[in-house]
Amino acid sequence: MIQKSRLTFFPLLVIAIVGCGRVGSVPDTSGGTTGKIHNGREPLIGIQVTVYQVDGDSTEPIGVAASRLDGSFELATMDGTCACQLPAGEYRCTLESAGAPISIPTEFAKPETTPLKIALSNDDEAIDLKIPQLKNDR
């Protein structure tokens, strides 16, 4: 009986492993709306930027990215599976540390209170987030 269950279990295990062949692969999220986050003089590194679409009084998160060494970022969908290209419209951005040694004021953490409001006029427009009150803690 134990022998028979091992024979059944092993092929199922192999099928499960092969079926999950994409484990470890990273989805291609290139092609999303690009942007830069900086305090004027220097790039802000390791900041998670979440973009919310504004519809009247409601907001919905639609894109997320982490800033690179030069402060640039490229948006991906919230589940991280593909690029997020923003159409023309009104948006709000929230900020969180993505491992950066930086203190971010609490008003930047919620779409209802963030001072970061942007309006894009066309699909090719890059986001420029200039935040003079933030400094990289080094």
Position 52 in a domain: yes
Q: Is residue 3 part of a domain?
A: no
Tell me: pLDDT of 11 over 60. no
Mean pLDDT of 24-29: 66
Whether 34 is covered by a domain: the verdict is yes
Which tokens go with 109? 């953490």
Q: Is residue 5's pLDDT more than 50? A: no
Per-residue pLDDT tens over the stretch 35-54: 999 998 899 999 999 999 99
| Cβ(38)–Cβ(130) below 8 Å | yes
Give residue-wise pLDDT tens across range 94-125. Answer: 999 988 788 899 999 999 999 999 999 986 78
Q: CATH no. for residue 36?
A: 2.60.40
* Tokens of residue 16, six digits: 């499960």
Phi and psi, residue 52, nearest 5°: -115, 135
Report the share of the chain in percent with pLDDT over 70. 76
Calpha distance 32→81 (Å, rounded): 11
pTM above 0.95, yes or no: no
Q: What band does 21 get if pLDDT is binned at 50, 70 and 90?
A: very low
106 domain residue, yes or no: yes
d(CA 116, CA 46): 18
Query: For residues 106 and 13, what is the distance between their CA atoms, to the nearest angstrom?
Result: 47
Asked whether residue 18 is domain-assigned, the answer is no
Q: Which residue range(s) make up the domain with 71?
A: 26-130
Count up the domains in the chain and report the number: 1
Cα 47 from Cα 69, distance rounded (Å): 10
